[in-house]
Amino acid sequence: MIKEESERTIPVQRESMADYLSPLVRGIKPSGIRRFFDLVSMRKDIITLGVGEPDFVTPWHVREAAVYALETGKTQYTSNAGMPELREAIAHYLNDSFSVEYNPANELIVTVGGSEAIDLALRALISPGDEILIPEPCYISYSPITALSGGVAVGIETFAADNFKLRADQLQAEITPRSKVLILCYPSNPTGGIMTYEDWLPIAKVVEENDLIVISDEIYAELTYGSKHVSFASMPGMKDRTILVSGFSKAFAMTGWRMGYACGHPELIAAMLKIHQYTVMCAPIMAQYAALEALQHGLEEKDRMVESYNQRRRLVVKGFREIGLECHEPQGAFYAFPSIASTGLSSETFAQRLLEEAGVAAVPGDVFGIGGEGHIRCSYATSVTQLTEALDRIGQFVHKLKQG
Amino acid sequence: MNELQLKVLELLKEDARRDAELIATMLDEPLEAVKQAIAEMEENHVIVKYATVVNWSKVDDEKVTALIEVQITPERGRGFEGIAERIYLYPEVKSVFLMSGAYDLLVEVEGKNLKEVASFVSNKLSPIEAVLSTKTFFILKKYKQDGIIFEEHEGDHRLMVSP
């Protein structure tokens, strides 16, 4: 007893501010994309294919709705879960577009971007030591957030030869008694890969047999080319096992508004809402009004944007193939993920030299996890003129490399 | 007009310099089909001309443009066609529309200066017998024309690289 008290009074010697930091935070590596960003921002006159957001500005009617919300004094908190009319509109839209039915009263919450929804879901689910299965290459946040919540991220490599689809045997091979959550992101950033109904069936079986919970990040759901997106939550028996995460950023060109949402079993959503109400209270009200306008009157505009991405996708894929870089057919999102292995360079060296010698920025694939090495991520959400010029420059650069 | 022609038109309307090969790639259609679609539309004058949209306010020898509301008496048997033609054949006239409402033709006239446009109205347009009255409105600034914004302020504010 006495000893304990005396221990408490002796101050711990901390030599630098870093010693104050939580070991969990200290353990997180800075993002590779950040390092590359610093390189790019020192350069002028470059063409960037590194941007992970639409090149459209949010449609004017949506912006105007937010202006009107401000003019009419919509400056308060909303209900923690989001405005009821917005939740209803989202539920209606999800049912219409992807045949998934959620009760807006207790199975859906509006979040600050899809990012917050992923954070909430992982924090709500993870006990220390739980294993979180993550098909890679993938969006860069899953593994750090998993670590912050005390979980252990287990990467599952996917391959260009499979169009970066997740295969059931690969998933099965990584399952241990500690496996708890599978994070899915299809259509995929950075690969553009998608999963069809037939692709999902065996995955759903493994999920069921191993009693997993799925966090399905479907932020690119609207951006598929050729076949319509199949939500994992719409697979037989999967609704209650799935937390569906999505948002307005990609489909409606609304990245800066930070409007996302999560849907799922009422008990899971209630747990997520508990974290949400203590951490952020609610998503910004004016952005919620903008999102409502987007769902009510923005679907046609969205279709036009999707068509425009599709045209540019064809241009870029053909361009890479003509250059002699292997490029699988990306069927979703707005990224091509060509292989640069034939040049003999690593992703990082290739991207760095491409930037320095050709003035084109593309993100080295290794920052997206295992399976990303040997590729670069090229966003085609940029103008046709810029894309054509970028392809010309990449072509000359690769030609020069291959000649010696 | 078939579906392919409509799609080709959309892409050409955005940028008339796009060639058939680029368009074929963007639409995932055979090159020959796209070439044929363009040729047909040129033949039928669906595509009338490949012209340049100019922001003349950035050019030193600035021009003056006026919109003129013209009331006319239609001719028996020909309606407005004959008078409209007599007006649009003048090179100073940039566009002519037949309108519903309080007047009949909306005529866009371009000149080097105010005087030149005024002189066109009093010496060429008003004396036409069928013309009953004219109202001239000078354009002070063009913000947007044919769906094209002249001074785009929105720009690209995205970060150069983002996840």
Of A298, A325, A350, the residue that ends a domain is A298
Of A274, A298, A322, the residue that ends a domain is A298
Q: Which are the contacts of A22, defined by CB distance < 8 A and separation ≥ 6?
A: none
Cβ-Cβ contacts under 8 Å, A59 against chain B: none
* Residue A326 and residue A190 share a domain: no
Output the pLDDT for position A385: 96
Dihedral through CA A136, CA A139, CA A141, CA A146, nearest 10? -30
Calpha distance A390→A388 (Å, rounded): 5
Calpha distance A74→A69 (Å, rounded): 5
Output the pLDDT for position A6: 52
Output the pLDDT for position A305: 96
Which portions of chain A are predicted below pLDDT 70?
A: 1-11
* Residue A329 and residue A283 share a domain: no
Instruction: Look at residue A1 and tell me if it is in a domain.
Output: no
Domain boundaries, chain B: 3-43, 60-141
- SS3 string of chain A? CHHHHHHHHCCCCCCCHHHHCCHHHHCCCCCHHHHHHHHHHCCCCCEECCCCCCCCCCCHHHHHHHHHHHHCCCCCCCCCCCCHHHHHHHHHHHHHHHCCCCCCCCCEEEEEHHHHHHHHHHHHHCCCCCEEEEEECCCCCHHHHHHHCCCEEEEEECCHHHCCCCCHHHHHHCCCCCEEEEEECCCCCCCCCCCCHHHHHHHHHHHHHCCCEEEEECCCCCCECCCCCCCHHHCCCCHHHEEEEEECCCCCCCHHHCEEEEECCHHHHHHHHHHHHHHCCCCCHHHHHHHHHHHHHCHHHHHHHHHHHHHHHHHHHHHHHHHCCCCCCCCECCEECCECHHHCCCHHHHHHHHHHHHCEECEEHHHHCCCCCCEEEEECCCCHHHHHHHHHHHHHHHHHHHHC
Q: Do residue A315 and residue B22 have CB atoms under 8 angstroms apart?
A: yes
Q: Which residues of B16-48 are buried (b: 16+ CB within 10 A; e: fewer)?
A: eebebebbbbbbebeeeebbebbeebeeeeebe
Beta bridge mates, B98: B105
* Residue A188 and residue A104 share a domain: yes
Any idea which architecture B60-141 has in CATH?
2-Layer Sandwich (3.30)
Measured in degrees and rounded to the nearest 5, phi and psi for residue B133 equal: -160, 160
Report angle CA B10, A247, A191 to the nearest 5 degrees: 70
Side-by-side strand order, sheet with A376-379? A335-336, A376-379, A363-364
For residue A138, the enclosing domain spans 60-298
Q: What is the CATH number of the domain that holds A33?
A: 3.90.1150.10
Query: Tokens 């939500």, residue?
Result: A231
Output the pLDDT for position B152: 83
Cβ–Cβ < 8 Å for A116, A145 = no
* Residue A309 and residue A267 share a domain: no
Beta bridge mates, A299: none
Any idea which architecture B3-43 has in CATH?
Orthogonal Bundle (1.10)
Instruction: Look at residue A215 and tell me if it is in a domain.
Output: yes
Could you please report the per-residue DSSP string of B91-102? TTEEEEEE-SSS
Q: What is the pLDDT of residues A53-72, one digit of tens each?
A: 999 999 999 999 999 999 99
Cβ-Cβ contacts under 8 Å, B147 against chain A: none
Q: Which are the contacts of A176, defined by CB distance < 8 A and separation ≥ 6?
A: A131
Instruction: Closest CB to B161: pick one of A141, A314, A363.
Output: A363
Q: 10 Å Cβ neighbour count for B118? A: 16
Q: Do residue B25 and residue A314 have CB atoms under 8 angstroms apart?
A: yes
pLDDT in tens, chain B (163 residues): 899 999 999 999 999 999 999 999 999 999 999 999 999 999 999 999 999 999 888 887 778 999 999 999 999 999 999 999 999 999 999 999 999 999 999 999 999 999 999 999 999 999 999 999 999 999 999 999 888 999 888 888 999 999 9
Cβ–Cβ < 8 Å for A315, B25 = yes
Amino acid (1-letter code) at residue A284 = P
Beta bridge mates, A179: A131
Q: What is the CATH number of the domain that holds A87?
A: 3.40.640.10
* Residue A310 and residue A282 share a domain: no
Cβ–Cβ < 8 Å for A259, A83 = no
Output the pLDDT for position A7: 55
Instruction: Look at residue A77 and tell me if it is in a domain.
Output: yes
Instruction: Look at residue A68 and tell me if it is in a domain.
Output: yes
Could you please report the per-residue DSSP string of B113-153? SHHHHHHHIIIIITTSTTEEEEEEEE-----EETTEESS--
> CA-nearest residue of chain A to B8?
A311
Output the pLDDT for position A340: 97
Of A298, A326, A354, the residue that ends a domain is A298
* Residue A355 and residue A270 share a domain: no
Output the pLDDT for position A117: 98
* Residue A212 and residue A129 share a domain: yes
* Residue A40 and residue A159 share a domain: no
**Token pair recorded at residue A278:** 């203590």
* Residue A261 and residue A231 share a domain: yes
Calpha distance A321→A17 (Å, rounded): 50
Residue B89 DSSP code: T
Q: 10 Å Cβ neighbour count for A117? A: 28
Instruction: Look at residue A3 and tell me if it is in a domain.
Output: no
Cβ–Cβ < 8 Å for B84, B78 = no
Q: Do residue A51 and residue B22 have CB atoms under 8 angstroms apart?
A: no
* Residue A195 and residue A329 share a domain: no
Calpha distance B108→B162 (Å, rounded): 47
> CA-nearest residue of chain A to B14?
A384
Greatest alpha-carbon pair distance for chain A in Å reads 77
Instruction: Look at residue A8 and tell me if it is in a domain.
Output: no
* Residue A141 and residue A284 share a domain: yes
Does the structure's ipTM exceed the value 0.95? no
Query: Tokens 């994992």, residue?
Result: A232
Cβ-Cβ contacts under 8 Å, A51 against chain B: 158-162
* B159 interfacial to chain A (CB closer than 8 Å): yes
Residue B71 burial (10 A CB sphere; 0-12, 13-18, 19+): middle
Calpha distance A347→A354 (Å, rounded): 10
* A308 interfacial to chain B (CB closer than 8 Å): no
Measured in degrees and rounded to the nearest 5, phi and psi for residue B101 equal: 105, -150
Measured in degrees and rounded to the nearest 5, phi and psi for residue A263 equal: -130, 150
Instruction: Look at residue A377 and tell me if it is in a domain.
Output: yes
* Count of structural domains within chain A: 2
Cβ-Cβ contacts under 8 Å, B159 against chain A: 37, 51
Q: 10 Å Cβ neighbour count for A402? A: 12
Task: Region of A112 please: left (phi>0), alpha (psi -120 to 50) or beta.
Answer: beta
Cβ-Cβ contacts under 8 Å, A139 against chain B: 163
Instruction: Closest CB to B27: pick one of A36, A48, A311.
Output: A311
Q: Do residue A311 and residue B22 have CB atoms under 8 angstroms apart?
A: no
Instruction: Look at residue A78 and tell me if it is in a domain.
Output: yes
* Residue A179 and residue A212 share a domain: yes
